[in-house]
Structure 1
């Protein structure tokens, strides 16, 4: 579990609460390790770029399809207690069911991912895309690919973004933060030798939304309190 403190979109929080009441129900861009949130600069100050400052990896969990690391059930044993699986359900389950586990339970996880993504997107597409980037919808990549392919445009959009943290060699351009509380979002673009190319927001300001122009030559884009980023 990440130790990075995030502020998910309001829509995700509200919808997540509703979904939990209905059911009992996440690859790195640069390979940095998670560090403690302790010692981070205040929200009104530029992000620290010093070696002793906090660094959280900028990831895009929407690019990852998680599968069991141990032995899995063979396809011929993927049968429900009653009835049968559809072709798409069998394709989803193939290579995903750990030994001695009920395949119906694994399928339920995928179905819940589709349901949550659909419900979130119906209220706020940015919330759905942000949740995909952050990996907050378990098994979403495989579920979209096999169980709810109509949600593929959301997944494609999410793969263009990255989470808050340290993003190495970002493509220059305009990005916007998918955060419900823009006043907590701080960022800094660093060039060769750690030179600060740009940072924000100005101290004392409380923006309603955060849009950033990452300049060419940025080697690291460091942010916190911004949840996730998407090209504008």
Structure 2
């Protein structure tokens, strides 16, 4: 199923942002044992600290990128002191922009892992929705390399799609990962004919959409993200 560019509704995004920010951990937590942290001055590792900002979804700092400008060659991916693990090097490969500290890029990924882990403990739908909506930057690579224990979240997210317009969606019943009353949707057929629309409400005010066979476009607004019901 193709995933289009999407619009993140402000109300739903604020709810998920708050959940993610509430789960931010301090540098003394030791919560990223699997990934390890950026090398310290003594060559050991520790998880990076996460700012406690209620409206922050993804950590600030260098954004890993494989599509913007030149990157640091793999042979030059070395911290100021100590060394990166094999897994950390795999994550950093092709992702560190020139003139950027690789340890800072690594820390950004580790902070995303920490947020996902702690958010999932409170609300798995919130964590999955953040991945689908793109609130966790570069989630696939981050989880694959730095926090493999969160792969089930990634697998679940792959079955859904973000708010916006989806071309030729699979028929079935889906649930919105928000209880925002502004959430609405339409299933459009040939020539833009409306085949179904909502929102019918499920339990606890949850919006559900039944996409009929033959739907050419599924258009939603204010719904944040969708998963099969």
TM-aligned CA deviation for residue 113 of structure 1: 1.1
Once the two structures are superposed, residues 8-28 of structure 1 have per-residue CA deviations (whole angstroms, 9 ceiling, x without a partner) of 373542332563328953xxx
Counterpart of 2:52?
21
TM-score normalised per structure 2: 0.75
How far apart, CA to CA, are the structure 1 residues paired with 2:91 and 2:179? 33
How many angstroms apart in 2 are the aligned matches of 1:2 and 1:156?
20
TM-score by length of 1: 0.74
Mapping of residues 68-79 of structure 1, within 5 Å: 68-79=67-78
1: CA distance between counterparts of 2:215 and 2:17?
31
For structure 1, the residue ranges without an aligned partner over 5 or more in a row are 26-64
Q: Structure 1 residues 24, 164: closer, same or farther in 2, change over 3 A?
A: closer
Q: Distance in 1 between matches of 2:9 and 2:114?
A: 26
| Root-mean-square deviation over aligned CA pairs | 2.6
What's the CA shift for 1:76?
1.4
Structure-1 residue corresponding to 2:9:
5
State the 1:180 CA deviation: 3.5
Match among 192, 199, 203 for residue 201 of structure 1: 199
Q: Is the 8 A contact 1:191 1:197 kept in 2?
A: yes
Alpha-carbon separation, structure 2, partners of 1:2 and 1:167: 9
What's the counterpart of residue 146 of structure 1?
145
SS at match of 2:166: strand
The equivalent of 1:157 in structure 2 is: 156
SS at match of 2:52: helix
Q: Relative contact order (alpha carbons < 8 A, sep ≥ 6): 1 or 2 greater?
A: 1
1:150 counterpart SS class: helix
Question: Which residue of the partner structure matches residue 185 of structure 2?
Answer: 187
Change (3 A) 1:134 1:4: closer
Question: Equivalent residue for 2:120?
Answer: 121
| CA deviation vs aligned residue, 1:128-175 (integer Å, no higher than 9, x gap) | 000000110123221111111111110111111111111111000010
> d(CA) in 2 for partners of 1:68 and 1:85?
23
Equivalent residues of 2:59, 2:112 under 8 A apart: no
Which residue does the alignment assign to 2:47?
Answer: none
CA distance in 2, matches of 1:134, 1:191: 25
Contact 2:163 2:222 in 1 (8 A): yes
Structure 1 segments of 4+ aligned residues over 4 angstroms from their partners: 1-4
Cα distance in 2 for residues equivalent to 1:227 and 1:24: 20
Residues in 2 aligned to 1:176 and 1:2: alpha-carbon distance in whole angstroms: 17
Shift of 1:198: 0.8
Structure-2 separation of matches of 1:24 and 1:191:
40
Structural mapping, 1:211-226, within 5 Å? 211-226=208-223
